[in-house]
């Protein structure tokens, strides 16, 4: 059999990075026209396209080409691969974003072209999480092609990739990139030498006689000279035959074999600087994801209760954010004018998502019976387990003479309350107030009604602005104790002690919640060094704190104060940091074993980075990070992207950091480190692919910007499983919702739960109305341990249930007994279920 190189022509569509979405379309759509002309004039030619964000505008703007386009697709000469909206980052966005990329793109390609792409096309994505094979199989993919993230140079270019649950998918690694066969000479002799050389290069990574030569650079034109020269080269009797192919052609010629090696786990990390470059984009993504999934969950509840108007899948809100998850945009490596365009599209997503959630909350509250004394406060829990957490209620007073307010729970007992902010009339009476209290045992996927009772007597119990408001005092070191935690702070405001009560071990091994300012001469992609665009092997460099780092704890001039009240206590610190400033507020509340931290950094320097440091007493621990639909143990010393938490545990317990949109996670020398912010730009990048002389990326320096970061500490006994970190991370990102209401009758009592039971090892990432009736839930086993006969129970009996795939198709009946659906899970298995209730 003759050695064969499969030349696979394509164009790597950027979406937006150096030019905006619209500017790239102006450059890139003519390339599709050129490809169609070649397909029309040369029967040997083939071409490959991906991403609905590229194909959809082409068909809309060139309707005259639609018939010819569909014809070539039907013939198999124009391949549609990928099937996602963009070539998305899979590490930093949340798990539902990964699924929605596939759903949105697949729906378009089916609707417009009648095709279901089965080749996952993630050529340039900056690393891949360990659940990728499972998700792709659940969406009907048969293979994945990619360039970046394999563990070593010894990796073979064809292997079976195994997910955490054991699912495998054939993987085609492109060791020399996605343009290895692009840019060939236009004279036959040189062309033949070029192709034979490429074939030989690939032999370092495969023994197969059929080898893969992808041929497409960034936003590149199809190569018109190739097809004629291929015919001439093959006719000349060259030792290597060249075949112009689409991906499916190559896969048929080189099908998976039992001899292929198996690689389990992730293809990470790649370009670690991207985890905190333009950090606000990561934070916006997590915020909007929470708004959308909360809207969907409440929409499912309302639809089940017969309330119309909440079954919209919210694609108008999802789409701008999904587009912004293109691997370059999500990484923050764009030019300035693209950055501004990206912020504008995030604003559109956020506005639509906020509006949808507000509508859902309003209609939900109208369903609740809020009759009785005082001002009703409906506390809503959008997660499927009972929760206790600190909430803040904004209240207006129309009763004359209100001096304070008491908070009464649904059981009639008074809850401690703390006045946070207030406006008063000239006579000193309350007009508006923000009141804090701990809402206890709020039902799963449901609500509890509290009542704010205004009172006239300043000596009465409740938040009256005198005896129970937060009292701020200067501190030269402080000890704070609640019923759950004991913390100590030094004179610089650093946390120097933390233990669970009663009897927990000391977990802090040195000044913690210290902000480190470090010199970082890297670019938007990579820390400490300029971009190596050819990076394809998972990075293994260790990133400890630099010896010359400036630490917030080094200053003796920090302002430190303690603000103590009956509900929560805050320790506040602020001061200079390098040429900028920092401030950090550490808050603990009664009844909650979590330390909430809000830190702000104002940066005035170029080429620096900021990290929050937490040295621990845990020696030789195990580091575990959350990833989409799972958790994975990782080596210490290396920065990886984490989802909502990272953990460092030993035999007697450990310490976790929860975060909101801060993916850069590391543990070095028993110290947890959370990346907050980088100040950098595009340092050195070759012109091409839309990047041109004179383009600026200086907004990446974040000069004069004040950024705010929300994260939390969770000390725990046992390991990350015992601490239910999948739940604790979700709670930080989906806070309880409080809505003041008028008094009215309603169908729902003052305490009510829609989803009454979900086994604790399971996690819910999505619940939404189904167009086929009932609700659709996406659930995964979150601890890596098999779970049999897990029960799903709702407010009403389950009449029927089906397991589906990620596209909500291919339903298979699920066992229902005693009004509940019963499911079994492999460790880290993902299931999508439709239930009728």
Cβ-proximal residues to 509 (8 Å cutoff; 6+ apart), any chain: 615, 616, 617, 618, 670, 671
Residue 257 Cα distances to 88, 213, 296, angstroms: 29, 20, 42
Q: Can you tell me the distance from the alpha carbon of 321 to that of 290, in angstroms, rounded to the nearest whole number?
A: 12
Provide the CATH number for the domain around residue 785: 2.60.40.1360
Closest CA to 292 of 345, 365, 341, 360: 360
Tell me if 393 is assigned to some domain.
Answer: no
Tell me if 402 is assigned to some domain.
Answer: no
Tell me if 583 is assigned to some domain.
Answer: yes
150 and 173 in contact (C-beta within 8 Å)?
A: yes
State which residues form the domain around 652: 473-733
Where among 243, 270, 297 does a domain terminate? Answer: 270
Segment 35-39 long-range contacts (CB within 8 Å, at least 24 positions apart): 35/9, 35/11, 35/78, 35/222, 36/65, 36/68, 36/69, 36/72, 36/78, 38/222, 38/224, 38/227, 39/72, 39/77, 39/78
For the ranges 426-435, 738-747, 813-822, which has the lowest average pLDDT?
426-435
248 with 294, same domain: the answer is: no
**100 pLDDT exceeds 90?**
yes
643 and 627 in contact (C-beta within 8 Å)?
A: yes
Sequential DSSP letters for 228-243: HHHHHHHHTT-SSEEE
Closest CA to 133 of 326, 264, 279: 264
The tokens for 351 are 């506005």
Residue 494 Cα distances to 477, 607, 677, angstroms: 9, 25, 20
Tell me if 433 is assigned to some domain.
Answer: no
Higher pLDDT, 231 or 456: 231
Tell me if 158 is assigned to some domain.
Answer: yes
Q: What is the pLDDT of residues 599-658, one digit of tens each?
A: 999 999 999 999 999 999 999 999 999 999 999 999 999 999 999 999 999 999 999 999
The distance between the two most distant Cα atoms of the chain, rounded to a whole number of Å, is 101
pLDDT of residue 458: 55
157 with 66, same domain: the answer is: yes
91 with 234, same domain: the answer is: yes
What b/e readout covers 40-72, taking b as 16+ CB neighbours within 10 angstroms? eebeebbbbbbbbbbbbbbbeebeeeeeebbeb
State residue 791 phi and psi, 5-degree precision.
Answer: -110, 135
pLDDT of residue 529: 94
- Rg for the chain (alpha carbons), in Å? 28
pTM above 0.95, yes or no: yes
193 pLDDT band, cuts 50/70/90, is very high
Q: Can you tell me the distance from the alpha carbon of 314 to that of 744, in angstroms, rounded to the nearest whole number?
A: 30
Q: What angle do CA 318, 319, 324 make, to 5 degrees?
A: 105
Instruction: Label residue 658 exposed, middle or buried (CB < 10 Å: 0-12, 13-18, 19+).
Output: buried
Where among 703, 733, 763 does a domain terminate? Answer: 733
Q: What is the pLDDT of residues 661-690, one digit of tens each?
A: 999 999 999 999 999 999 999 998 989 889
Closest CA to 672 of 702, 688, 649: 649
10 with 72, same domain: the answer is: yes
Provide the CATH number for the domain around residue 613: 2.70.98.30
For range 188-202, the mean pLDDT = 98
466 pLDDT band, cuts 50/70/90, is very low
Higher pLDDT, 9 or 411: 9
For 516, which DSSP code?
A: E
Tell me if 362 is assigned to some domain.
Answer: yes
Closest CA to 552 of 572, 579, 582: 582
For range 805-809, the mean pLDDT = 97
47 with 146, same domain: the answer is: yes
Q: Can you tell me the distance from the alpha carbon of 674 to that of 639, in angstroms, rounded to the nearest whole number?
A: 9
Cβ-proximal residues to 67 (8 Å cutoff; 6+ apart), any chain: none
Sequential DSSP letters for 592-634: ---EEEEEEEEE--SSEEEEEEEEBS--S-EEEEEETTEEEEE
**731 pLDDT exceeds 50?**
yes
For range 420-448, the mean pLDDT = 94
The tokens for 1 are 């059999």
Q: Can you tell me the distance from the alpha carbon of 384 to that of 832, in angstroms, rounded to the nearest whole number?
A: 15
Q: Can you tell me the distance from the alpha carbon of 733 to that of 411, in angstroms, rounded to the nearest whole number?
A: 28
Q: What is the pLDDT of residues 552-603, one digit of tens each?
A: 999 888 999 999 999 999 999 999 999 999 999 999 999 999 999 999 999 9
Q: Is the dihedral of CA 111, 115, 116, 119 positive or negative?
A: negative
SS3 at position 78 = strand
680 and 699 in contact (C-beta within 8 Å)?
A: no
Average pLDDT, the chain: 96
783 with 820, same domain: the answer is: yes
pLDDT of residue 403: 85
459 pLDDT band, cuts 50/70/90, is low
480 and 473 in contact (C-beta within 8 Å)?
A: no
703 with 806, same domain: the answer is: no
752 and 443 in contact (C-beta within 8 Å)?
A: yes
For the ranges 103-107, 345-349, 563-567, 612-616, which has the lowest average pLDDT?
563-567
pLDDT of residue 460: 54
729 with 786, same domain: the answer is: no
Closest CA to 155 of 165, 143, 146, 168: 146
Where among 219, 239, 270 does a domain terminate? Answer: 270
Q: Which residues pair with 418 in a beta bridge?
A: 436
**CA torsion angle 682 687 689 690 (round to 10):** 80
Tell me if 399 is assigned to some domain.
Answer: no
663 with 766, same domain: the answer is: no
Residue 714 Cα distances to 570, 590, 646, 758, angstroms: 16, 14, 10, 23
547 with 650, same domain: the answer is: yes
| H or E stretch covering 172 | strand 168-173
Q: Of 277-281, 466-470, 553-557, which has the strongest mean pLDDT?
A: 277-281
417 and 427 in contact (C-beta within 8 Å)?
A: no
Count of structural domains within the chain:
4
Q: Can you tell me the distance from the alpha carbon of 643 to that of 224, in angstroms, rounded to the nearest whole number?
A: 45
493 with 523, same domain: the answer is: yes
SS3 at position 526 = coil
Tell me if 293 is assigned to some domain.
Answer: yes
pLDDT of residue 461: 53
Q: Can you tell me the distance from the alpha carbon of 663 to that of 282, in angstroms, rounded to the nearest whole number?
A: 8
Q: Can you tell me the distance from the alpha carbon of 837 to that of 650, in angstroms, rounded to the nearest whole number?
A: 44
What b/e readout covers 468-507, taking b as 16+ CB neighbours within 10 angstroms? bbbeeeebeebebebebbbbbbbebbbbbebbbeeebeeb
648 and 616 in contact (C-beta within 8 Å)?
A: yes
Q: Can you tell me the distance from the alpha carbon of 459 to that of 417, in angstroms, rounded to the nearest whole number?
A: 14
783 with 712, same domain: the answer is: no
Other C-beta atoms closer than 10 Å to the C-beta of 776 total 20
The tokens for 202 are 């690939």
**801 pLDDT exceeds 50?**
yes
pLDDT of residue 428: 83
Q: What is the pLDDT of residues 476-496, one digit of tens each?
A: 789 999 999 999 999 999 999
For the ranges 539-548, 554-563, 767-776, which has the lowest average pLDDT?
554-563
What b/e readout covers 402-421, taking b as 16+ CB neighbours within 10 angstroms? bbbbbbbbbeeeebbbbbbe
The tokens for 363 are 């209609």
467 pLDDT band, cuts 50/70/90, is very low
Q: Can you tell me the distance from the alpha carbon of 488 to that of 481, in angstroms, rounded to the nearest whole number?
A: 9
Query: Could you tell me where the DSSP H helices lie in 122-183?
Result: 132-138
Tell me which residue has tokens 């569509």: 13
Instruction: Label residue 279 exposed, middle or buried (CB < 10 Å: 0-12, 13-18, 19+).
Output: buried
Q: What is the pLDDT of residues 228-254, one digit of tens each?
A: 999 999 999 999 999 999 999 999 999
pLDDT of residue 457: 65
**Crossing angle between the packed helical segments 95-113 and 52-61, to the nearest 10 degrees:** 30
Sequential DSSP letters for 345-362: HHHHHHHHHHHHHHHHHH
Q: What is the pLDDT of residues 381-393, one digit of tens each?
A: 999 999 999 999 9
The tokens for 665 are 């996670």
151 and 262 in contact (C-beta within 8 Å)?
A: no
For 302, which DSSP code?
A: H
Closest CA to 108 of 63, 66, 55, 68: 55
SS3 at position 583 = strand
Q: What angle do CA 84, 270, 544 make, to 5 degrees?
A: 145
């Amino acid at each position: 059999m003759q050695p064969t190189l499969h030349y696979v022509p394509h164009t790597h569509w950027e979406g937006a990075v150096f030019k905006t979405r619209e500017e790239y379309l102006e450059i890139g759509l003519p390339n599709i026209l050129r490809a169609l002309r070649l397909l029309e004039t040369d029967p040997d030619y083939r071409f490959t396209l991906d991403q609905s964000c590229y194909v959809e505008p082409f068909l809309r703007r060139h309707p005259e080409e639609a018939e010819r386009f569909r014809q070539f697709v039907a013939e198999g000469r124009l391949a549609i691969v990928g099937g996602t909206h963009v070539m998305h980052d899979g590490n930093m966005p949340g798990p539902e974003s990964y699924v929605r990329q596939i759903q949105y793109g697949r729906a378009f390609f089916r609707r417009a072209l009648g095709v279901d792409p089965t080749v996952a096309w993630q050529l340039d994505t900056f690393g891949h999480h360990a659940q990728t094979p499972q998700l792709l199989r659940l969406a009907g993919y048969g293979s994945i092609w990619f360039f970046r993230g394999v563990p070593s140079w010894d990796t073979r270019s064809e292997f079976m990739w195994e997910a955490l649950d054991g699912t495998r998918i054939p993987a085609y690694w492109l060791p020399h990139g996605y343009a290895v066969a692009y840019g060939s000479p236009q004279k036959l002799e040189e062309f033949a030498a070029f192709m034979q050389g490429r074939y030989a290069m690939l032999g370092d990574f495969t023994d197969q006689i059929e080898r893969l030569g992808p041929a497409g650079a960034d936003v590149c034109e199809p190569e018109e000279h190739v097809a004629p020269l291929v015919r001439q080269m093959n006719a000349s009797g060259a030792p290597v035959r060249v075949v112009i192919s689409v991906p499916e052609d190559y896969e048929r010629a080189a099908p998976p074999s039992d001899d292929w090696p198996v690689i389990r786990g992730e293809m990470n990390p790649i370009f670690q600087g991207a985890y905190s470059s333009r950090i606000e984009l990561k934070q916006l993504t997590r915020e909007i994801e929470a708004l959308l999934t909360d809207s969907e969950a409440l929409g499912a509840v309302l639809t089940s209760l017969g309330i119309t108007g909440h079954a919209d899948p919210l694609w108008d809100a999802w789409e701008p954010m999904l587009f912004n998850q293109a691997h370059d945009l999500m990484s923050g490596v764009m030019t300035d004018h693209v950055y501004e365009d990206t912020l504008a599209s995030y604003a559109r997503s956020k506005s639509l998502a906020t509006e949808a959630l507000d509508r859902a909350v309003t209609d939900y509250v109208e369903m609740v019976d809020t009759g009785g004394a005082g001002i009703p406060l409906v506390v809503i829990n959008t997660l499927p387990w009972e929760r206790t957490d600190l909430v803040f209620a904004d209240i207006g007073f129309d009763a004359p003479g209100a001096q304070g307010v008491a908070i009464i729970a649904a059981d009639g007992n008074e809850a401690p309350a703390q006045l946070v902010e207030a406006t008063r009339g000239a006579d000193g009476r309350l007009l508006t107030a923000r009141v804090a209290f701990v809402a206890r045992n709020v039902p799963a996927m449901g609500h509890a009604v509290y009542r704010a009772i205004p009172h006239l007597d300043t000596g009465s119990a409740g938040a009256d602005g005198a005896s129970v408001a937060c009292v701020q005092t200067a501190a030269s070191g402080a000890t704070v104790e609640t019923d759950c935690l004991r913390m100590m702070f030094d004179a610089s405001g650093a946390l120097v002690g933390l233990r669970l009560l009663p009897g927990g071990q000391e977990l802090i091994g040195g000044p913690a919640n210290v902000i480190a300012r470090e010199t970082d001469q890297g670019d938007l992609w990579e820390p400490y060094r300029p971009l190596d665009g050819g990076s394809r092997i998972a990075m293994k460099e260790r990133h400890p704190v630099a010896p010359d780092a400036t630490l917030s704890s080094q200053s003796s001039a920090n302002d430190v104060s303690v603000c103590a009240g009956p509900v929560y206590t805050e320790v506040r610190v602020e001061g200079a940091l390098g040429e900028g400033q920092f401030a950090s507020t550490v808050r603990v509340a009664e009844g909650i074993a979590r330390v909430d931290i809000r830190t702000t950094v104002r940066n005035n320097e170029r080429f620096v980075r900021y990290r929050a440091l937490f040295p621990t007493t845990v020696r030789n621990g195990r580091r575990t990070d959350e990833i989409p639909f799972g958790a994975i143990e990782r080596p210490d010393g290396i920065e990886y992207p984490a989802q909502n938490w990272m953990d460092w545990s030993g035999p007697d317990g450990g310490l976790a950091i929860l975060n909101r949109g801060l993916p850069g996670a590391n543990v070095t020398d028993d110290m947890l480190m959370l990346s907050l912010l980088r100040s950098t730009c595009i340092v050195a990048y070759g012109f091409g692919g839309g990047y041109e002389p004179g383009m600026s990326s200086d907004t990446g320096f974040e000069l004069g910007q004040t950024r705010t970061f929300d994260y939390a500490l969770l000390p725990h006994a046992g390991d990350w499983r015992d601490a239910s970190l999948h739940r604790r991370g979700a709670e930080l990102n989906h806070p309880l919702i409080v809505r003041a209401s008028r008094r009215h009758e309603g169908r729902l009592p003052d305490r009510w739960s829609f989803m009454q039971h979900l086994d604790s090892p399971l996690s819910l990432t999505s619940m939404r109305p189904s167009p086929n009736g009932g609700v659709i839930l996406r659930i995964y086993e979150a601890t890596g341990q098999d779970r049999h006969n897990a029960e799903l129970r709702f407010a009403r009996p389950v009449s029927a249930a089906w397991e589906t795939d990620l596209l909500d198709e291919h339903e298979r009946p699920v066992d229902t007994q005693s009004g509940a659906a019963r499911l079994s899970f492999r460790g880290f298995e993902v299931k999508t279920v439709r239930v009728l209730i």
